[in-house]
Amino acid sequence: MQVKQSMGARLAVLAVAAVLTLGMGHNSQAIAEKDDFYQAVNQETLKTKTIDPTEVSWSWFQERSVKNTKQLETEVQQMADKTGTYKKGTPEQKIADLYTCAMDTKTRNTSSRAQLNEMLKPIQEAKTTAELTQALCDFKEKYGEGLLVDYGADRKPSAPVYMSRISVNDTILTKYDLQKEPEKGLWDTYKTYIADVLKESGVDANTAKTQAAAILAMEQAWAPAMTDSEKLNDVSVYNQIVPRKDVEAWMPHMNGKKILASWGLDKEKEVLFFEEPYLKAMDAMYTQEHMPLLKSYLTFIVMHRYAPYADIKLRNIRRTFTMKRYGIQQPRSDEETASRMVQDLMSYELGQVYMKQYGSSVAVADVSQMIRQIRDIYEQRLQYNTWLSPQTKAKAIEKLKTLRIFVGAPASGDTPLIDTMADVIAPKQGGTLLGNILHNGRLAYEQEKKLLGRPFNPDKWMGMDPQDVNACYIPENNSITIPMGILQPPFYSVMASQGTNLGGIGTVIGHEISHAFDTNGCQYDKDGNMKNWWTKADYEAFRKRADAFAPYYDRYTVGKEKLQENGKLVTSEAIADCGGLSAAAEIAKGNPTILKDLYHNFAVIFASKYTPQILRFIIQMDPHPIGSARVNGALSSMPEFYQVYHITANDGMYVQPQQRVGIW
Alpha-carbon span 488 to 366, nearest angstrom: 13
Burial of residue 399 (number of CB atoms within 10 Å: 0-12, 13-18, 19+): buried
Residue 589 dihedral angles phi and psi, to the nearest 5°:
50, 40
Superfamily of domain 12-19+27-49+360-408+457-659: Collagenase (Catalytic Domain) (3.40.390.10)
- Nearest CA among 397, 350, 352 for reference residue 69: 350
The proportion of the chain whose per-residue pLDDT surpasses 90, expressed as a percent, equals 94
Q: If you average pLDDT over residues 558-582, what whole number do you get? A: 95
DSSP per-residue string spanning 283-325: HHT-SGGGHHHHHHHHHHHHHHHHGGGS-HHHHHHHHHHHHHH
pLDDT in tens, 165-203: 999 999 999 999 999 999 999 999 999 999 999 999 999
Euclidean distance between the first and final Cα of the chain, in Å?
Answer: 26
Whether 463 shows a pLDDT value over 90: the answer reads: no
Indicate the pairing of strand 479-483 with strand 404-408: parallel
Angle at CA of residue 58, ends 56 and 63, nearest 5°: 115
Side chain identity at residue 262, one-letter code: S
pLDDT in tens, 420-433: 999 999 999 999 99
- Nearest CA among 375, 321, 622 for reference residue 515: 375
- At residue 1, the pLDDT reads 62
Structure confidence at residue 560 as a pLDDT band (50, 70, 90): confident
Alpha-carbon span 344 to 333, nearest angstrom: 16
- Nearest CA among 590, 603, 601 for reference residue 631: 603
3-state SS, residue 652: coil
Superfamily of domain 77-345: Neutral endopeptidase , domain2 (1.10.1380.10)
Q: Based on C-alpha coordinates, what's the Rg of the chain?
A: 25
Indicate the pairing of strand 608-610 with strand 563-564: unpaired
Angle at CA of residue 492, ends 8 and 628, nearest 5°: 55
Contact 170, 8 (CB under 8 A): no
3-state SS, residue 58: strand
Which residues on neighbouring strands pair with residue 14, listed in sequence order? 471
pTM above 0.85, yes or no: yes
pLDDT in tens, 392-414: 999 999 999 999 999 999 999 99
- At residue 2, the pLDDT reads 64
Q: Is the dihedral of CA 512, 516, 520, 524 positive or negative?
A: positive
Alpha-carbon span 625 to 42, nearest angstrom: 17
- At residue 27, the pLDDT reads 42
**Which H or E run contains 152?**
strand 149-155
Q: Please state, rounded to an integer, the average pLDDT across all residues of the chain.
A: 94
Q: How far is CA 327 from CA 51, 179, 323, 334, in A?
A: 11, 21, 6, 20
Question: Quick one: the chain helix, strand, coil %, rounded to 5?
Answer: 55, 10, 35
Residue 655 dihedral angles phi and psi, to the nearest 5°:
-130, 135
Alpha-carbon span 510 to 326, nearest angstrom: 32
- At residue 8, the pLDDT reads 33
pLDDT in tens, 357-400: 999 999 999 999 999 999 999 999 999 999 999 999 999 999 99
Alpha-carbon span 93 to 96, nearest angstrom: 5
Alpha-carbon span 634 to 38, nearest angstrom: 11
pLDDT in tens, 124-152: 999 999 999 999 999 999 999 999 999 99
- At residue 16, the pLDDT reads 34
Residue 595 dihedral angles phi and psi, to the nearest 5°:
-65, -40
pLDDT in tens, 258-308: 999 999 999 999 999 999 999 999 999 999 999 999 999 999 999 999 999
Q: Which residues of 3-27 are buried (b: 16+ CB within 10 A; e: fewer)?
A: bbeebebbbbbbbbbbbbbeebeee
Contact 83, 409 (CB under 8 A): no
Alpha-carbon span 159 to 532, nearest angstrom: 14
Candidate ranges 14-18, 360-364, 492-496; pick with highest mean pLDDT:
360-364
Q: How far is CA 619 from CA 17, 45, 56, 569, 642, in A?
A: 17, 23, 14, 9, 29
Indicate the pairing of strand 162-168 with strand 149-155: antiparallel
Q: Half-sphere exposure of residue 217, counting CA atoms within 13 Å on the CB side? A: 10
Residue 21 dihedral angles phi and psi, to the nearest 5°:
-110, 0
The helix-helix angle for 291-306 and 205-222 (nearest 10°) equals: 90
Contact 128, 288 (CB under 8 A): yes
- At residue 3, the pLDDT reads 60
